[in-house]
Structure 1
Amino acid sequence: MSAPARTGRGIVVYRWTDDTRLPTAEARLALGEALADLGVAEEVREDAQLVLSELVANAAEHACGPYEVRLQRILSEWVCEVADGDPELPQLPQFPPDLLLAPDEEKRGGGLDSLLSLLGERGRGLQIVHQLSGGEWGFCRTGKTKVAWFVVGPVAP
């Protein structure tokens, strides 16, 4: 993979269109490589890749292209952005104040049907984004585009 391009908006890590076959996997791989090159710790990279997977999948499903994944250095942190061609900001679900996937003793042993029911709920992906990013994420509008962003972590010394 070639080196990420630097623009006035940060480092462009990955671009895709509505015709791209596997944008989530490709974006996840590109971000992992870019963060490794920047010296970001493996555990932080893995969480960032999971967050990015959710945001790329949401953009591909609910928005229109073109799409772009960027890294911005803001003060002492890296911020990852996913830009798409839709200026509409999504409705955000209410996030639980406690642990997202804490075990519920009454529902243990629910089997495959219980698991599929849990995973099939809409909005679960943004709850994962919220938890893995420590609540440091959001959406903003920039002209005719929307940007989903999250804080990856501190800049390596």
Structure 2
Amino acid sequence: MRKFEIVKAYQDVEVLVPQRQTKHSAGYDLASIEDVEIQPGEIKMIPTGLKVLLPDNEALLIFPRSSLGIKKGLMMSNSVGVIDSDYYNNENNEGHIMVPLYNFSTKKVTVSKGERVAQGIFINYLQTIDDDPNHTVRLGGFGSSDKKQ
């Protein structure tokens, strides 16, 4: 089972649940839950107000929307985000999906509440036959897979 859920901090706010925009769209559009200003050369984390429940053998890949760079002068600072199944409900940030955007333009850019900034694509992943995963538990949120218990 896979599904998007609203994180506790945004339970009382209108959150746009991701939708595919057409019958054949692969990605679910992710929108900003608040207005965020990004100065030239600055990186800001764009909150979505969402987390995602995934089976153990799946991940959610986060890609920028194609119009982001052309129309706004923004790009994802990590190129592609990878949301692992154990990111859900982690103790650091409840699994809140945040989109790190870098302003490569020469002007201040505003990402408006409700503006779609990224798209998430669900994938199954395979493991090698000699896979010996480290059986530790994720301790935190963003960038925490190397910090385990």
TM over 0.5: no
* TM-score, normalised with respect to structure 1: 0.30
Q: Which has the higher helix share?
A: 1
The structure in which a higher percent of residues are strand is 2
TM-score between the two structures when normalised by the length of structure 2? 0.31
